Each structure stands twice: as structure tokens, then as C-alpha cells.
Amino acid sequence: MPYQLTSPDLDIVLALVRGATLAEAGRRLGLDASTVFRALQRIEKGLGRRLFERSRAGYLATELAQQFAQHAERIEAELEAARAQASVSAGTVTGLVRITTTDTVLHGMVLPALAPLGRAHPGLSFELTATNELASLTRRDADIAVRATRQPPDHLIGRRLGPLRVAVFASRELLAAAGVAPPRDGGSVAPAALAALPWTAPDEAMPDHPSVRWRRRHLPRVSPQYRVNSIAGVVEVIEGGLGIGIISLMIGRRSGRLVQLTGALDECDTDLWLLTHPESRHLRRIATVVAHLAGHVRLDGQADERGGPIKRTDKADR
């Protein structure tokens, strides 16, 4: 008789597709690596086919393994949906929701928005990751991504929350020490004066960040005195009076210690997106969090160069 795949077999394959190593697959399953290895050997022997190519980089899934993983994901989604249905009668939403975003968006937008949701649904728990890299929603490293981008990945479902605009900011103390008068009535400091001030910027980990490209194009002779590995670090350096830099209007204008030195830099404009995987977006816990964030993430701290508010534009699923 042909080998009869079981649900636990598919769990093993899915964990290895997502984790790429025995250790990571074991962590996801709550098993040790040797148990995962023996299970994989048993499955491949029963099928008479290899599901993964072994290399120094880990376990590379074959096309058959990818197909098995897709079946496993659908089973996983159905199970989660059934569990969610079981709590509908109680009117509660429960479960873990993993959110990935950047440090500044996490602290400035996501955390304030999550506070009332956590109180309304104490059965929800959250795993929050702040990183400049987009965690793989396909491998289920996260359930929801909140990202600033001009073009979100086509394989994800996205909801546009609105524009993220930036400008050059400085602390009042730094301007006073340098003898630079703050601009009046929405004006801008002259480029020569900007170039004469010390700068802070993202380090080599973000060479293509829009703020880095803008500075290199418009102030090519400026070499930042302070380089940091996150935008939150850029904000801290500016607030500390060490240098000027490019940060979002929302963050800069919320701080009572900073002065805006330029108008909004159109070349750096991006949009803030809520991204989910197509297979999981209808799960009640994830749909609840997405709907809440869409309604509560605040972008109205921003304004355009003329001082008027920027309206948030919600877009239906892509």
C-alpha cells in the first residue's frame, strides 16, 4: 500500500519548510531536533521520495514539500478558525497574534493603538518584534506586519493606513549653540546652513533608506558625525542635541524639544501598510487586531508644508 500521510507528518514538513533547520523546526513543534530528523526519515522512506535537499545552509524544500506545506497551512487555518468559532458564543477573542514592525512605528503608533484592544480582549496575547527586516508572513514568522513602503509585496494582503512624511529636525539646544535661527512660518533653513550642522543618519545596515538617498543627493558633502543602526537611534541623537537628521513629521512634531528645519521631503514619502497572509487574514484573532489597528493607528499628528492635516486614506484589501 502507498504510504498514508498523516496530519502530524504534514506538521513536520510545514515546520521544516518554515524553519529550514532541524533545530528551528523542533522549536516550532516543541520537539528536539533528533525527533524531527527521525520523523522526516520515516516520512521520506515511506514515500520513497526526498522532501528536502540538505546543505550547510539548512533544509531546502523540494516542490513536493512545498505542496505538502500548502496543504498543512490550509489545515492549520481551518483549525484556528474552528477554535475561534468555539469562543464566539462567549463573545471573546483569544489567542496569540505576532506583529512585526519597525522600532519607531512600534513605539509611536502600534503600542498606543493596542492598549485599548488588550483591555477589551484580555484573552488576546501579543508577540511584538521591532526590526528593519520584513519578517516572513509566508513562513508564519509573524501574523501581521506594519510597514512603511511604497510597494508592498504582491503575495500579501494589504491595507494602506496613510502617508508617512519626513523632514529635517534639530533640537532647540543645538540650534542655539550653533547660532542658527529656527525657520519661521513654515520656512526652511538654507541648504548651506544645514550642511554646516552635525548630522546623524542610519548606518550601513540601511544604505538605501529614503533619508540616506535624499541627503546624498541634496547634501553630497555631508558626512554624518553620528551613525546608528535604527531610526529610533536617529531620533534619540537628535533629541540629545548631538546632530540634526531626517525623521517622520509625526515623531518630530510630537516632541516638544525638536524644531522642523525643512518642509516635508517629498522624495522620501512612503505609505504605512498593514500586511497579512491571505491564508490567515480571516482568522478571528488576526482580523480583530487588523481592524482595530486600521481604526486606531494615528497618523493625524502629521501635516503638510502648508500646515493643513493630511487625511488618512483607507484602502480595501489588495
pLDDT in tens, 200-210: 998 877 778 88
Burial class, 301, CB count within 10 angstroms (exposed 0-12 / middle 13-18 / buried 19+): middle
Residue 173, pLDDT score: 94
**Among candidate residues 47, 38, 82, 45, the one with its CA nearest the CA of residue 67:** 47
Cβ within 8 Å of residue 82, ≥6 positions away = none
Q: What is the mean pLDDT of residues 112-141?
A: 78
Residue 130, pLDDT score: 84
Among 30-34, 138-142, 223-227, whose mean pLDDT is lowest? 138-142
CATH of domain 95-164+269-296: 3.40.190.10
Assess contact for 312 and 165: CB atoms under 8 A. no
Q: What is the mean pLDDT of residues 90-96?
A: 74
For residue 36, give the C-alpha cell: 524531527
Q: How far apart are CA 119 and CA 11, in angstroms?
A: 33
Q: What is the mean pLDDT of residues 207-217?
A: 88
Burial class, 147, CB count within 10 angstroms (exposed 0-12 / middle 13-18 / buried 19+): buried
Query: What average pLDDT is seen over the chain?
Result: 84
For the segment(s) 7-86, the CATH number from 3.40.190.10, 2.40.30.130, 1.10.10.10, 3.20.20.60 is 1.10.10.10
Q: Do domains 7-86 and 95-164+269-296 have the same CATH topology?
A: no
> What CATH class has 166-268?
alpha beta
Task: Decide: pTM greater than 0.85.
Answer: no
How far is the CA of 296 from the CAs of 95, 116, 136, 161, 312, in angstroms?
20, 9, 24, 10, 11
Residue 155, pLDDT score: 78
H or E element in which residue 23 lies: helix 22-29
Domain boundaries along the sequence of the chain: 7-86, 95-164+269-296, 166-268
Q: How far apart are CA 187 and CA 168, in angstroms?
A: 12
Assess contact for 202 and 214: CB atoms under 8 A. no
Q: How far apart are CA 146 and CA 101, in angstroms?
A: 5
Residue 46, pLDDT score: 93
